[in-house]
Amino acid sequence: MGGRLTARVVGGVFVGGASRRMNRRPKGLLQAPGGGSIVERLFAVLEECGIDDTVLVGACTEYSELGLPSIEDQPPGIGPLGGLVSLLRRSLDGFAVALACDMPFVSDAIVRSLLDAPAAAVVAPRCGGKWQPLCARYAAAEVLPLAEQCVARGEHSLQRLLTMACATPLPLPEGRCRELRDWDTPEDVVNDR
C-alpha cells in the first residue's frame, strides 16, 4: 500500500445507535452544515474519494426513506462491534472504511488520508488519547477474526479491538481532530452551528 489502495474498499456509515441523548432522534438525519443530512453528506464524501460501495450499517428504519443500501449488525444488540463485523464480512476481500453517522465535519481529506496510509490492519486517528474507531480503515481479512473473537468473549469495546489489532495512528495536522467531533446531544448541534 502506501499510496491509493488497489484492493476493493467498502464504506460503512454506522447508524445503529439508539440516540438516547438525542431524544431518540436519528443523528444521521440531522441537517449537516451546508445542507442535506449528515448521512447523505458522508455518502458523498466517500463517493468523492472513489468508494462506490457504501452502506448504512445498523438496523434503523428511519433511514429507509433515503433509499440507501444497508446491512444489519451481525450479531445485533452489542453496539458498533456488531456493525463492524457485518461491514468486515462484506469487504472480506479488501478494506473497510467505517464512519460514524454523528460526525458532520469529516472531510474528504481525512478519508483520503485513511486510504493513502501505509499497510496496517487498522489505521485510525487518535484524538485526546483515544482511538477513533468509527473514522478508520480496516484490513478485513486481518481484523475480522479478531472482531469475531471479541464477540465470542463478550468484549464489545472497539478501543480494545484496535489495541488487539495493533492499530496504526493516522497522523492529522493540527486542528484536524476538530473535524472528528460528534453530535451526541441537541446542545452539541446548537453549539456547533
Dihedral sign for Cα atoms in the order 139, 140, 145, 150: positive
pLDDT tens for each residue of 42-93:
999 999 999 989 999 998 788 888 999 999 999 999 999 999 999 999 999 8
Give CA–CA dist 123/136, Å, rounded.
Answer: 6
The CA R_g of the chain, rounded to the nearest whole Å, is 15
| 39/68 Cα distance (integer angstroms) | 10
Structural domains in the chain, CATH included, are 9-180 (3.90.550.10)
What is the per-residue pLDDT across 132-175, written as a single tens digit (0 to 9) for each?
A: 999 999 999 999 999 999 999 999 999 999 999 999 999 988 77
CA separation, residue 148 to residues 75, 153, 179, 183 (Å): 10, 9, 30, 29
Give the list of residues 6+ apart from residue 187 with CB closer than 8 angstroms, or none. Answer: none
Label residue 171 exposed, middle or buried (CB < 10 Å: 0-12, 13-18, 19+): exposed
For the entire predicted model, the pTM comes to 0.91
Which of 18, 190, 127, 132 lies closest to 28, judged by CA?
Answer: 18
DSSP for 154-185, written as a single string: T---HHHHHHHTTPEE----TTGGGGG----S
Fill in the amino acid letter for 31.
Q
Is the pLDDT at 1 greater than 80, yes or no? no
pLDDT band at 37 (very low <50, low <70, confident <90, very high): very high
